[in-house]
Amino acid sequence: MAPTHKFFFNPFTILFLGFLISFIMISFPAEAAIKKYNFDIQMKNVSRLCHAKPTVTVNGRFPGPTIYVREGDRLQINVTNHVKYNMHGMKQYRNGWADGPAYITQCPIQTGNSYTYDYNVTGQRGTLWWHAHILWLRATVYGAIVVMPKQGTPFPFPQPNREFEVVLGEWWNSDVETIVKQGNAMGLPPNSSDAHTINGKPGPLFPCSEKHTFAMEVEQGKTYLLRIVNAALNDELFFALAGHNMTVVEVDAVYTKPFMTQAILIAPGQTTNVLVKASQAPGRYFAAARPFLDVPLPVDNKTATAIFQYKGIPNTVIPTLPQLPAQNDSSFALNYNKKLKSLNTPKFPANVPLTVDRNLFYTIGLGKDSCPTCLNGTRLVASLNNISFNMPQIGLLQAHYFNIKGVFKTDFPDKPSTPFNYTGAPLTANLGTLVGTRVSKIKFNSTVELVLQDTNLLTVESHPFHLHGYNFFVVGTGIGNFDPAKDPTKYNLIDPVERNTVGVPTGGWTAIRFRADNPGVWFMHCHLELHTGWGLKTAFVVEDGPRSDQTVLPPPKDLPFC
């Protein structure tokens, strides 16, 4: 995800799922099963859409392998880097050393070197994902993580007969890094992808894709759990299944109140689990994914498809396509997200902070910086509170833990220095931004409310934001400017959805709350790779607590250093 500006390290940091993840404790109960994985990061020729190209893969696979683990297991992943790049993964309590974002919590794994991620998976279960966390490498370096409940613990919904992972992604015919460098050199967004994919396959609506189609064989009357991940770099996606309703039961590895829908909306970095009953006339039905974009910006608008195929139906039967929402269907997006609520039962409570110690208000903006060599003499940038984040050359967590001065400042403003009409007429003048490695310092165990406000600097746009190291509660969202007097009175403080990546609506705002009980340095960024690269990111330094079990753990001896 987050690009780094230092390529000479030939890095490839593995960032295991810095999204929704389990609290990784460092105690290893004797009864815990040990699950071992070897990940070899290597180049391999991959062919899609009649184009072959050298591609960064894990174990020669695109997408990479799924990690299967049960809550309470000990997980050991040995990563060996055979290429010149870097990688991210699980939410870890007190142990940001293995969180993965390059130059935030750790330095990259050097070419030819290995690093073993070793931890116990506790406190969470569901669908997560792992991916590269440097440059645009996660275009091909990603995969699902399936955390099953403890043995003998049932799902809080009807037991499915079978499960399928459905990982949505993007494909470029040309080398992705070359495309990004060309765009940066011109000061413009790089070309959008040539196809969307489902489990790395575009489906039969694309050329040369007959064999590049993912199929799920199902039996009439049986129920299936689809574990859906959006691993696309830059597109929020609609997903639907022709002729079948879906029941949403989990997002970002947190159970939700079940509700039925004909389509889901899923942003980059998010996961959604749905139940589907094979209750229709036996046949072949397309599952399809297509972007949601409610502003006039260029996007790869082609539809990726997979096939939901009833047993015994021949492949010669032409599948039917689902009715997806229109590309710019904002009302579907808002209504869908409003339906997402926490289960909030005695076994799965929603521990929403009801009081707030620290109120933060961050504006999201696009801007232009001077660039004499660029096409228009300017380069597009992105900012929070008018600050574009500058990546350091040493991991922020290392600098924090070892008290290394001069790497970052803890003076990120709690609110914009100059309030304005954030979502009024487009603002196209005075679009320069400040640049700095500036973060917010947060007291341990304090409660935080963060309002993320979209702005019409150049254009409004939706932004999926991901916070590493934490889940948070989405207590409110709205269109227009956030009103601190009226809007908090409408918050849902009973059963708001809990997740780790949330969409800020186009020309609107989202309010989240969390308790800062995980010490360390934790990255927060837009999950549109384009905007992250332009500086739409920051970090929280959460101070140690008073007890010894509330402090950042010492770094492992084999931690890669810069």
Q: Where are the domains of the chain?
A: 29-155, 157-340, 358-542
Q: Which amino acid is at 436?
A: G
Helix (H) or strand (E) holding 515: strand 508-515
Q: What is the pLDDT of residues 102-131, one digit of tens each?
A: 767 667 777 888 877 777 787 789 999 999
What CATH number has the domain spanning 29-155?
Answer: 2.60.40.420
Token pair in block for residue 513: 């709350």
For residue 506, pLDDT over 60 is answered with yes
Which one is predicted more confidently, 545 or 100? Answer: 545
Q: How far is CA 455 from the centre of its chain?
A: 22
Lowest mean pLDDT among 50-54, 295-299, 343-347, 490-494: 295-299
Lowest mean pLDDT among 91-95, 212-216, 305-309, 332-336: 91-95
**pTM of this structure:** 0.93
Averaged pLDDT for residues 284-308: 90
Cis-peptide, bond into residue 63, ω within 30° of zero: yes
Domains 29-155 and 157-340 share a fold: yes
For residue 253, pLDDT over 80 is answered with yes
Averaged pLDDT for residues 439-452: 98
For residue 75, pLDDT over 90 is answered with no
Pairing of strands 463-467, 520-526: antiparallel
For residue 86, pLDDT over 60 is answered with no
For residue 509, pLDDT over 50 is answered with yes
Q: Which residues contact 347 (CB under 8 A, 6 or more apart)?
A: 156
Averaged pLDDT for residues 260-286: 97
pLDDT of the residue at 483: 98
Q: What is the pLDDT of residues 212-239, one digit of tens each?
A: 999 999 999 999 999 999 999 999 999 9
- Cβ(169)–Cβ(200) below 8 Å: yes
- Cβ(268)–Cβ(233) below 8 Å: yes
Averaged pLDDT for residues 313-341: 96
- Separation of alpha carbons 284 and 292, rounded Å: 25
- CATH fit for domain 358-542, picks 2.60.40.420, 1.10.3720.10, 2.60.40.10, 3.90.1150.10: 2.60.40.420
Lowest mean pLDDT among 320-334, 424-438, 495-509: 424-438
CA dihedral 486, 488, 489, 491 (to 10 degrees): 140
pLDDT of the residue at 169: 97
Give the domain 157-340 fold: Immunoglobulin-like (2.60.40)
